[in-house]
Amino acid sequence: MSESLLSGRSGLAVLIDPDRTTMAEAEKLARRAAGEGAALLLLGNSFGPAGEGGELSARLKRAAPELPLVQFPAMASQLDAAVDAVLLLSLVSGRNAQYLIEEHVRAVPFFLQHPEIEAISTAYCLVDGGHVTSVESVSQTRPLPADKPEVAAAHLRAAALIGMHAAYLDAGSGASRAVGSAMIRGARAAWRGPLLVGGGIRGADSVRAARDAGADIVVIGGALEEGGARVLSALTLAARA
């Protein structure tokens, strides 16, 4: 694609984790997300097992055909031909070669077979959210310090220099604190492309703060698991502000 699916897109991304959501719950959430005006559906989890894979993707596409379905895979073996695009993550906050380039090499046959699926090269920065996350454990890397926005900015400037297309600041699933406004502002100053922020964002005020600081897309997963689809309207509205 000459223009990324994420280009010019802003608002709320609803993260559906196939290992923490039933098929029926995921379909209901997708329909509600479309009705409330979410920006996209994000499917996957942070360096975990694959869950239901293609069957869930197909059902989500039927439930909310108007919403882009973007996969957030843990590894190349999970790549799914039923999605619109893939966040091809490079864990630039760490130094584990498997998640910087090895999984990307393994993904080549999939993208050669499915040229219609956009691979969005994404600079993935794990930010300290107050506890050890699954990403940190599995990748054996440390998160960026939450109080050092200049460190995150340097990583994103490096990612821009090597031509990456999107950036994702993530405090991790179930984080006790979200990525702070100062960190997001620093990232925004260093990064011109689409900027996603997620992890530890549980209410409309947190969504609004992330957007005000410069996030294009705010990723919500845990808040919906805890509060159900009923909280989605307020979160989507806050993400549009």
Read off the pTM.
Answer: 0.94
Query: Where do the structural domains in the chain lie, given as residue ranges?
Result: 11-240
User: pLDDT tens for residues 91-110?
Assistant: 999 999 999 999 999 999 99
Could you tell me how far CA 222 lies from the centroid of its own chain? 13
Task: Please list the alpha-helical segments (H only) found in 37-175.
Answer: 54-63, 97, 103-113, 134-139, 149-161
Q: Which residues contact 182 (CB under 8 A, 6 or more apart)?
A: 147, 149, 213
Find the mean pLDDT for residues 130-157.
95
**Residue linked to tokens 């969005």:** 120
Topology given in CATH for the domain delimited by 11-240: TIM Barrel (3.20.20)
Q: For all residues of the chain together, what is the average pLDDT?
A: 93
Residue 103 structure tokens: 């999984």
Query: Quick one: which of 114, 88, 77, 100 has its CA closest to 6?
Result: 88
pLDDT at 1: 35
